[in-house]
Amino acid sequence: MHDIYGFKLADVCSNDSNYEKWAKSYYRSRGLDEMRICWLRKFKGRFVQEGYKELVLVTGSTISPNAAQISKDVTRTAPGFRDLDWLVFRLDRVLTTYSLRNPTLGYTQSMNFIAAVFLAATGSEAVTFWAMAEICENILPDYFVGDLLGVRADCALMLLLMQQKGSAALEELHRELRRLEIDLVQLCAPWFMTAFAGGFFPTETTLRIWADFVDYGRIYLIRVALAVLLLGGLPLMRRERDGSGGVEGLREWMQGLLDGAALLDAAR
């Protein structure tokens, strides 16, 4: 990574005390500093920071039933977290506190990716906590339940959109999905539950998706998913005889999408 003048910058921060300075330079170098500032204002302005500290104190002596799973997941969330004990600790504390505050949802695998995006971008546990609460409780309220009700509903909406008359590309996409017997819920559930933050795209593309996702919510995830299937999936499906090859090829296409401009334009 390099700054706007061409000087090399560290890809990870060496310690907690320097995090704010590092994060500011890291996101500015990617043209994302404005997004970072917006997130800080959006979630700090909505919630009182002291409320998170009180929750940490209240729940600090309580063992979460999800503690073991959270500990496993935070170490494999992202390379930048895996190698830094202090950052792993902060992510663990946010997820554990949230699971105790909202025992109905508790903790579901994929929440770690959502929290990691906010923690990496803002450097604030309080902002990360309340941002995650907003995502899980208001923006994607029925995604993190046992039967994945929200995910299934949004996949059903995608299928309806594909079957609407007037878009030859969407109609062809629907035919190819049926021909290859690709289960849309199985394909899209990991995308939706992490809001594409599970390592599906390069970091820069993921964060640009999130810049709009935080503002537009779940409908934007559907738009991105359709854009992915149209731009990356459909050309592959046309050449495949079974679904497995098309899905694997799509994963490779997504991971190589360093410039997501065309994808984001198609999703808007």
pLDDT in tens, 116-130: 988 888 888 888 999
pLDDT given for residue 11 in this prediction? 46
Length of the chain: 268
The model's pLDDT over 176-215, given as tens digits with 9 standing for 90+, comes to: 999 999 999 999 999 999 999 988 998 888 888 988 898 8
Averaged pLDDT of the chain:
82
Report which of 215, 207, 3 is spatially closest to residue 122, judged by C-alpha positions: 207
What's the token pair of residue 142? 């029925």
* Helix H or strand E segment including 226: helix 218-228
Instruction: Answer for the pair 162, 174: CB distance below 8 angstroms, yes or no.
Output: yes
The confidence score (pLDDT) of residue 25 equals: 54
- The percentage of the chain sitting over the pLDDT mark of 90, rounded to a whole number, equals 43
The pTM of this model reads 0.81
Residue 220 has pLDDT above 60, yes or no: yes
Enumerate domains of the chain plus CATH numbers: 16-139 (1.10.8.270), 149-267 (1.10.472.80)
